[in-house]
Structure 1
Amino acid sequence: MSTVTTHAPRVTESAPRTRAGAVRTLWAVQMRRDRLQLAVWILGNAAMAGLAVTGVAQSYGSEAERSTLLATAIANPVVLTFRGLPSGAGAAEFTGFLILPFLVMIAAFMSSFLAVRHTRAEEESGRAELVGATMASRGSALCATALHGFTANALTAAAVAVAFLASGLPLSGSVTAGVTTGAAGLVFLGVGLIAAQLFASSRGANALGVIVILASFLVGGVGNAIGSPNADLTRMESSVLAWFSPFGWAENVRPFADNDPGPFLPLVAAAAIGLLLAAALQSRRDVGASLLAPRRRRAQASGSLRGPVTLVGRLTRGSAIAWAVGAFLTGVLATSLASVVQDLGGSNPAIATILEAMSQSGDLRAGTVVIFFTVVGILASCCAVQLIARARQEEAHGTVEPLWAAAVGRRGWLASYLAVGVIAIAVVDGAAVLGALVGLARSGDDLVREVWVGAAGQGAVAVAFLTITALVLVVLPRWTIGIGWSIVVLATIIGLFGPLFGLPDELTRLSPFSQVPTVTAGGVDGRGVIGIIATAAIALVLSVWLVRRRPLVTAG
């Protein structure tokens, strides 16, 4: 009878022997795992910077045109809230005004998601506990993630600076813009690390990160909008409110204009405080636990949880409600500010020309509704993608295998998420309509038809993103989250910034957000929505048909 001899694995020379070596090893593993995602984030940010320079040169080549647009923005708080801080009418300063907040936002999302992915998500999967039992220790993962985030933001800073410099902008301003973008990203890296300590799930931590980013963006924008303009309406001094937001700090650096190092101090201080606070919070909890305990559940399910649709609805209702609240506020702004924009357009023809071009409508009030309901469509699309991403996470964690083996099956499982997705989109759209009607009750405008047309068109866009992401889930399950969010971001950039970047009309029309129906003098122009509906229907049929024979893919 033969004897099988087993040997313990030898520790090679490359294995980490110290905690510092373990941190370096974990950092290298994280960089390798994220190499494709980081490439998309960083190169995408750099591409936006370069395209912004080209777009300004093509669309606003003269200083007079740039001065007119700056005066328009300063005169209209709505426009200024969603743009940067005016710092002058020069081509470089104007480029910074248009694009810097969005460069910071991309770096913020990249950093926050990165922080949660390598901390809380690792604890959810059980890998963090295994790593913590080795020489790496439990705190090594946090240190490696902080180093990983610093590296990602340093690369982002370099890429943005090179993009501006290659486009012909000054060296000092290009470097300042890049470093500002990276420093702001580090602030939200700290936000993500703190959120990972507070919540028991990566979904909750990511949701908090998104809320903080969007709230900071709005606080900074409003702080700029209520500031003090100079005499020629080409420069704005932020109000005190802007200094409560990392976006406000970044914009007050004023790349290409002042290159002021002062606002770097709160950026660096906030990033350091975030990292130290995350480390302190981690030391106060057990592995897998959270500082905010999950809400206690009932011992027995209620009668409403008798099928897969109601179960999915219960699991995803929190995120849907959050998106709906944002849509409600957007709807209120859409109609409450329509008359304000109309009055501004009547007193300043430049405002009328710009807003009509943005909305592709001859009526400034209707154009304002179109612009704001585009934001509603983005919120509804994000809600849809997040819901399908939840389906992918459930599969990766192995919780759907019993469902596939039971009466629910593959098609029933996917159909339940699609059904709840349509309902969630309807809730988000309905909240926007309700908010718009509240705004109409206050303003007295007659824009009901524009509101319903805008809601219907953006709802169709969100359904298209829902079914396309579901098709990706079926065909390329491991790429579901990355591709789902990428197509929404690309569609938003092409649809909203295509004219600014000087993109061809054929390319701009590829974005569903540029194809929604609009109210014209002759009625409703809904030709573009036919393609959106057809795309959604094809993706729906293919996803439901192909999922029948798809194997279970549990690896992340």
Structure 2
Amino acid sequence: MIPLLRLRLRRDRVQLPLWILGTAALAAASVGGVAESFATEADRKVLLATVMANPVILMFRGLPSGAGEAQMALFLILPFLAMLAAFMSTLLAVRHTRTEEEQGRAELISATPAARVTPLTATTVHGVVANAVLGLLVAVVYIGSGYPAAGSWTSGLATASVGLCFLGVGLLSAQLMRTSRGANSLAVWILVASFVVSGLGNALGTPSDDLTRMESGRLAWLSPFGWAENTRPFADDAAWPALLGIAVGAALAAAAFAVQSVRDLGESVVPQRHGRAWAPASLSSPTGLVWRLTSGSVLGWAIGGFLTGLLATSLAAVVNEIGTRIDAVQRIFEAMSQQGGLESGMVVIFYMLAGVLAACAGVQSVCRARQEEVHGTAEPVLAGAVDRVRWLAGYLLIAFIAVVLTITAAIAGSALGALGSDMSLLQDAVVAGIGQGIAACVFLALTALVFVLTPRATIVAGWMLVLLALLIGLFGPLFSLPEWLTTLSPSAQTPVLDADGVDVKGAWWLAAAAVAGSVASLALMRRRELRPAA
């Protein structure tokens, strides 16, 4: 097992440090951001009271546990530290299991005296070590910042527990699904669903009388993110909820070992779908082939967009209910309503998530071109009467359609949700949706440029661009980042609805960048050779 573990560490010598150090850097940034933006306890209490008035904010933040500086930092950042750990773990698990089988390397290992489960064991140890280092660094960052040691270690444990839980999710997904793309999609959907369930549980929780602490609802206890947040670092420092995540991760890993021991190499629990006996007419074009390859994932992102749009408008009723249930919250709610910002702000926040889903749909469609190139299936297509530019143009077109479908589904969901609340919110949804769709097109254009210029970095760079832009857009104001850096996030330049109408902000620049990037990638593709090696 040791040689396989060393091989995994060598292959991840760049990716893994980026994930771990990036997460630790985000934790460090939260310390300075809170100290500068919310320097006094009075400022922090006002923020927490505002959060209680608008529980939608809890969908994208943590669980309030007090008005202390350290408690505020973890309230704002812990879910995102946990999310980074989860993404790192699921991608690691699938990359070293199902991807190895898909590309034929696992068969070479099986031809040696190594035991059947040795590669899976090496991957599990690799993931455990990565999460242990990640949790350790998070704790060291907070201890070095002067925060109490007990809460710092609890923060590290909570972050690592979510990573370990989703390490088990990734390992089992790789056993269930026939392809690495399917395994990653299943793991990511479980991750997103868990995040949303935890956020809903927090939003439907019960605030304390002084509006500085929230007791999460029962729904949050169904999610690893909810368990991590209920450790309440720097307040209760309860380690046992984090142990639930570790226990679930261990159980899922054990299930993965059980499946691995009985299935054939290259096979899966969920069988590969049989193709049709006769190909439809749409497969006569390269664009039709791309749609056939990506339609399933596009549909999944569109469903996610629909649910996000539905929540954006339908949860207005939940805000009203919370506001009328508690007198203090009701007063804050009324003050915010007079400014006309509560419901509209809720829609904008949700549509930032819808924009991320649309960007993911576009980026994944473009990344599919790299996967086809690596697997050698692009070569037979290009051997026919299809040139490179037309081939890549098909992926760009489908990526654009994926963005449009995701945003359209979100707006349709908002229309349905507004039927039971306030139809005037639909206008906010349309403006926010169009803006986020334009921003998403920038990401697919940038990913296409990376694919043409540095093919090997396509998948990592595409997803990292989306993640970095999301983090800058969400945390730029909190961390007091320079304005020029914050404006680099496309989501910060999308149109908004104000008292004077629609403020287009940087929408025209975003559209120009998306068009220019797409055209440049097609022009450069004309001279690019195929590079099938991974």
Tell whether the 8 Å contact from 1:342 to 1:365 is kept in structure 2 after alignment. no
Structure 2 Cα separation of the partners of residues 352 and 160 of structure 1: 38
Q: Deviations over 1:433-472 (max 9, x none)?
A: 1111112222243234322221211111111111110010
- Of 449, 457, 464, 2:442 maps to 464
CA distance in 1, matches of 2:345, 2:54: 14
Structure 1 Cα separation of the partners of residues 76 and 426 of structure 2: 32
CA distance in 1, matches of 2:330, 2:265: 62
Q: 1:260 aligns with which of 238, 243, 249?
A: 238
Please list, as runs of the form range in 1=range in 2, the aligned pairs for 1:55-74 lying within 5 A after superposition.
55-74=33-52
Q: Which residue of 2 aligns with 1:114?
A: 92
- Pairing 1:418–2:396 present: yes
Question: In structure 2, how many angstroms separate the alpha carbons of the residues matched to 1:41 and 1:163?
Answer: 15
**Contact conserved, 1:352 with 1:364, CA < 8 A, in 2?**
no
Corresponding position of 1:365? 343
CA distance in 1, matches of 2:419, 2:239: 47
The alpha carbon displacement at 1:219 in A equals: 1.8
Q: 1:310 aligns with which of 288, 302, 305?
A: 288
What is the CA distance between 1:514 and its match in structure 2? 0.3
Distance in 2 between residues matched to 1:227 and 1:363, nearest whole Å: 23
What is the count of residue pairs matched by the alignment? 529
Cα distance change on mapping 1:532 and 1:351 into 2, 3 Å: farther
CA distance in 1, matches of 2:420, 2:8: 52
Residues in 2 aligned to 1:95 and 1:352: alpha-carbon distance in whole angstroms = 26
Task: Quickly say closer, same or farther: Cα 1:451–1:220, change in 2 above 3 A.
Answer: closer
Return the alpha-carbon distance in structure 1 between the equivalents of residues 177 and 335 of structure 2.
47
What residue is the counterpart of 1:204 in the other structure? 182
AA aligned to 1:275 is A
Confirm or deny: 8 A CA contact 2:450 2:458 kept in the other structure.
Answer: yes
Paired residue type of 2:393: A
Structure-2 change in CA distance of 1:401 and 1:159 (3 Å): same
Deviations 1:251-298 (A, max 9, x none): 111111111122233123112212211100111210000011122221
Letter of the 1:54 counterpart: G
Moved more, 342-351 or 155-164: 342-351
Q: Which moved more, 1:128-137 or 1:377-386?
A: 128-137
Once the two structures are superposed, residues 194-246 of structure 1 have per-residue CA deviations (whole angstroms, 9 ceiling, x without a partner) of: 00000000111001101111111122222222233322121122333222211
Distance 1:66 1:524 in 2: 32
One-letter code of the match for 2:367? A
* Alignment of structure 1 residues 336-347 onto 2, 5 Å: 336-338=314-316, 347=330
Partner Cα distance (1:475, 1:338) in 2:
46
Query: Unmatched 5+ residue regions in structure 2?
Result: none
Which residue of 128, 140, 145 corresponds with 2:123? 145
* Matched residue, 1:220: 198
Aligned in 2, Cα 1:114/1:28: closer, same or farther, shift over 3 Å?
same
Partner in structure 2 of residue 180 of structure 1: 158
SS at structure 2 position matched to 1:524: strand
Residue in 2 that maps onto 1:250: 228
Q: What amino acid maps onto 1:269 in structure 2?
A: A
Do structure 1's residue 76 and structure 2's residue 54 form an aligned pair? yes
Q: Does the Cα contact within 8 Å between 1:339 and 1:445 map onto a contact in 2? A: no
User: Which is greater in Rg?
Assistant: 1
On the 8 A contact 1:346/1:352 being kept in 2, the answer is: no
**1:437 aligned to which of 410, 415, 424:** 415
Cα offset, 1:46, TM superposition: 0.7
Alignment-derived partner of residue 20 in structure 1: none
**Aligned pair 1:408/2:379, yes or no?**
no
What's the offset of the Cα at 1:338? 4.4
Shift of 1:508: 0.7
Question: Which amino acid in the other structure matches residue 167 of structure 2?
Answer: L
TM-score (norm 2): 0.95
Q: Contact 2:128 / 2:164 at 8 angstroms: preserved in 1? A: yes
Asked if 2 retains the 8 angstrom alpha-carbon contact of 1:464 and 1:533, the reply is yes
Q: Does 1:98 align with 2:85?
A: no
Gaps of 5+ in 1: 1-22
**Is the 1:165–1:174 contact (alpha carbons within 8 Å) kept by the matching residues of 2?**
yes
CA distance in 1, matches of 2:80, 2:389: 39
Residue equivalent to 1:27: 5
Which has the higher mean CA deviation after the structures are superposed, 268-277 or 488-497? Answer: 268-277
Equivalent AA in structure 1 for residue 314 of structure 2: S
Q: 2:14 & 2:201 partners in 1: Cα distance?
A: 36
Residue type at the aligned position of 1:304 = S
Mapping for residues 376-415 of structure 1, pairs under 5 Å: 376-415=354-393
Instruction: Tell me if the contact between 2:415 and 2:423 (Cα under 8 Å) persists in the aligned partners.
Output: no
**What is residue 14 of structure 2 aligned with on the other side?**
36
- Which moved further from structure 2: 515-524 or 236-245? 236-245
Q: CA deviation at 1:346?
A: 9.8
Deviation per residue, 1:45-89 (Å, 9 max, x gap): 111111111111111111122122222223333122322111111
* Residues 339 and 365 in structure 1, CA contact (< 8 A), matched pair in contact too: no
Tell me how far 1:153 sits from its aligned partner.
0.5
After superposition, residues 497-536 of structure 1 pair within 5 angstroms as 497-536=475-514
Partner of 2:312: 334
